[in-house]
C-alpha cells in the first residue's frame, strides 16, 4: 500500500485528477532505497513505530532515521484494531501514560495536518455485579485524582444515554451501572498510520516497506546493524516496535521477553443508519462495540487462548462475542456480520507495555501493548522517541522498563485493561 497525496487541494485540481484516472498524484511518503547505515532504525511501520520516527525527527532533530517494515505500512495491528481510545486506567503510571497519549490525540489532526478522524464520543465500561461497581467507583476516583475525566453512572443514567441497551433485570448479566470517560472515543486507524508516515517523511525519515529484519549484528554488547531482506543496514540505535512479533526480534538478540503472542479478533456488521453514538464495553459479557461512520458495528472479541502467529480467527470466539453483543443489545440479533479478522497481540503478565532499554547497548523495545495499544499510539511514540534520543526513559515510561519483571514492581492493570482495551 503506498500513500498518495495531492499538494494542491483546490477543487479544480481534485476534479481534473479524477478525470485523469487519478494519475499524477504525488506519494504521501518517500520510499527510497535503504542507505548503508542510519543513526536510528525503527523496526515496524505500525502506528507506534511511525509515531516514534515522527517525534524523533520533529522533537529531537534526528536527521538520519529509517523505518523498516516487513509487509505494508500499517498492515499489522494498527489496521486490525477496533480503535477505542481512552485513558481511564487504574494505577498512576498507566493512567498518566495513556492520558499523555489522549492529550496528543486531541491535537493530532492539527499537528499532522492530516485528519485522523478522532471522535470523542465517550467510552462506557459497564458494571454487571456489585464487585464490578465497586471496582468502577475505585477506578473513577483514582482517575479523578489524576485529573482524568471519569464518572460513575447508575443503570437509569446508562439507559438515558444509550437508549438501545437492555438494562432490564431479565438480562442474564443485568447492567447495574457504568463508568463513562467523555473524552474517550475512536479514531480512523489507517489515517493514523498514513498521517504519521507523511509527517515523518516530511522531516526526512526514510520509510522502507517489504523489508523484513531477519538478524541482528551485535558485537561487544552493542548493536551494530541489522540483516534484512534488502541487505545489511548499519545502525547506531535500533528501536523494535513489532507488536506480536516482538519476541521473534528479541530472540535475534538472545533476549527472552516476558510476552505471549495471541490472536485477537474483531468483526464488523453490515451498515445501518446511525443508532449508537458512543463506545460500549463490557468485560463481564466480553464484548465491546461502536458504530463506524459507514454505519457498521465495529465489534471486538476476546483473545484466542492458544499462542499463535496466525492472523486469523476461530469460530467459537466469534460465537461467544455475538452472544455478548445480543445480550446487551437484543435488537442487534437480526444484524448480519460482514467480515472478521485477527491480529497478533503481545501480552505481558501485568497487562502493561514494555518501553525499555535492553542489556544490548543501543537496542530498545517498545512492545507488550497487548490488546490495547492503539489508544496509546501518539504517546507511546512520543516517549519512545525520547528514550531513543537520550538513551534514558522519559519520566512517563520509566516505570515500564524490563527491570520491573525482576524487581517485582509490576503495574497490574488487568482490571482496567479488561478484555483488555
Ligand X SMILES: Cc1cc2nc3c(=O)[nH]c(=O)nc-3n(C[C@H](O)[C@H](O)[C@H](O)COP(=O)(O)OP(=O)(O)OC[C@H]3O[C@@H](n4cnc5c(N)ncnc54)[C@H](O)[C@@H]3O)c2cc1C
- Positive or negative, the Cα torsion across 18, 20, 21, 26? negative
Q: Where are the beta strands (DSSP E) in 100-157?
A: 123-127, 151-154
Q: Identify the DSSP state of 91.
A: S
The correct pick among 3, 313, 362, 372 for binding ligand X (CB under 6 A) is 372
Quick one: 404 or 421, whose CB is closer to ligand X? 421
Residue with cell 525519515: 205
Buried b or exposed e, range 60-82, using 16+ CB within 10 angstroms: eebebbbbbbbeebbbbbbbbbb
Residue with cell 522498563: 401
Shortest reach from residue 193's CB to ligand X, in Å? 7
Shortest reach from residue 49's CB to ligand X, in Å? 5
262 is a contact residue toward ligand X (CB under 6 A): no
CA 27 to chain centre: 25
In the shown chain, the binding pattern of residues 69 to 108 toward ligand X, with x for contact by CB under 6 A and - for none, equals: xxx---xxxx-xxxxx------------------------
The correct pick among 3, 44, 199, 418 for binding ligand X (CB under 6 A) is 44
343 is a contact residue toward ligand X (CB under 6 A): yes
Measured CA angle at 51 (ends 89, 205), to 5 deg:
170
Residues 45-74 that bind ligand X (CB under 6 A): 45-49, 68-71
266 is a contact residue toward ligand X (CB under 6 A): yes
Residues 214-233 that bind ligand X (CB under 6 A): none
Shortest reach from residue 6's CB to ligand X, in Å? 26
Q: Which stretch binds ligand X (CB under 6 A): 1-9, 14-22, 25-33, 263-271?
A: 263-271
Residues near ligand X (CB under 6 A), total: 40
The phi, psi pair for 54, rounded to 5°, reads: -60, -50
Shortest reach from residue 156's CB to ligand X, in Å? 27
Q: Which stretch binds ligand X (CB under 6 A): 6-14, 57-65, 148-156, 370-378?
A: 370-378
Report d(CA 213, CA 257) in Å as an integer: 18
Q: Is 145 exposed, middle or buried (0-12, 13-18, 19+ CB in 10 A)?
A: exposed
Amino acid at each position: 500500500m503506498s500513500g498518495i497525496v495531492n499538494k494542491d487541494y483546490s477543487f479544480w485540481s481534485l476534479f481534473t485528477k479524477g478525470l485523469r484516472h487519478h494519475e499524477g498524484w504525488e506519494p504521501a511518503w518517500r520510499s527510497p532505497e535503504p542507505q548503508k547505515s542510519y543513526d536510528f532504525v525503527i523496526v515496524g511501520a505500525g502506528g507506534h513505530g511511525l509515531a516514534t520516527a515522527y517525534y524523533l525527527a520533529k522533537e529531537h532533530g534526528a536527521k538520519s532515521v529509517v523505518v523498516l517494515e516487513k509487509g505494508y505500512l500499517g498492515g499489522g495491528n494498527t489496521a486490525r484494531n477496533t480503535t477505542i481510545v481512552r485513558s481511564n486506567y487504574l494505577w498512576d503510571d498507566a493512567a498518566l501514560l495513556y492520558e499523555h497519549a489522549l492529550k496528543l490525540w486531541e491535537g493530532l489532526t492539527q499537528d499532522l495536518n492530516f485528519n485522523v478522524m478522532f471522535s470523542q464520543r465517550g467510552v462506557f465500561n459497564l458494571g454487571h455485579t456489585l464487585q464490578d461497581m465497586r471496582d468502577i467507583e475505585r477506578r473513577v476516583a483514582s482517575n479523578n485524582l489524576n485529573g482524568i475525566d471519569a464518572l460513575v453512572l447508575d443503570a437509569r443514567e446508562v439507559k438515558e444515554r444509550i437508549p438501545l441497551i437492555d438494562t432490564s433485570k431479565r438480562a442474564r448479566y443485568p447492567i447495574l451501572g457504568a463508568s463513562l470517560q467523555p473524552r474517550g472515543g475512536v479514531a480512523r486507524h489507517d489515517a493514523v498510520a498514513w498521517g504519521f508516515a507523511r509527517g515523518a517523511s516530511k522531516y526526512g525519515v526514510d520509510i522502507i516497506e517489504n523489508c523484513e529484519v531477519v538478524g541482528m549484528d551485535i558485537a561487544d554488547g552493542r548493536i551494530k546493524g541489522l540483516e534484512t531482506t534488502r541487505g545489511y543496514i548499519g545502525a547506531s540505535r535500533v528501536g523494535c516496535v513489532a507488536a506480536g512479533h516482538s519476541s521473534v526480534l528479541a530472540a535475534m538478540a538472545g533476549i527472552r521477553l516476558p510476552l505471549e503472542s495471541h490472536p485477537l479478533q474483531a468483526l464488523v456488521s453490515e451498515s445501518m443508519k446511525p443508532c449508537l453514538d458512543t463506545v460500549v464495553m463490557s468485560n463481564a459479557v466480553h464484548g465491546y462495540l461502536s458504530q463506524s461512520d459507514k454505519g457498521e458495528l465495529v465489534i471486538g472479541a476476546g483473545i484466542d487462548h492458544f499462542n499463535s502467529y496466525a492472523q486469523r480467527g476461530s469460530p467459537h470466539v466469534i460465537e461467544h462475542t455475538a452472544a455478548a453483543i445480543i445480550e446487551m443489545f437484543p435488537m442487534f440479533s437480526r444484524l448480519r456480520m460482514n467480515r472478521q479478522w485477527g491480529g497478533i497481540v503481545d501480552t505481558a503478565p501485568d497487562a502493561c507495555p514494555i518501553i525499555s532499554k535492553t542489556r544490548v547497548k543501543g537496542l530498545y523495545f517498545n512492545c507488550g501493548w497487548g490488546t490495547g495499544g492503539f489508544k496509546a499510539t501518539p504517546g507511546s511514540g512520543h516517549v519512545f522517541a525520547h528514550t531513543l534520543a537520550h538513551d534514558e526513559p522519559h519520566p512517563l515510561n520509566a516505570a515500564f522498563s524490563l527491570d520491573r519483571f525482576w524487581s517485582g514492581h509490576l503495574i497490574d492493570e488487568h482490571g482496567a485493561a479488561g478484555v483488555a482495551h
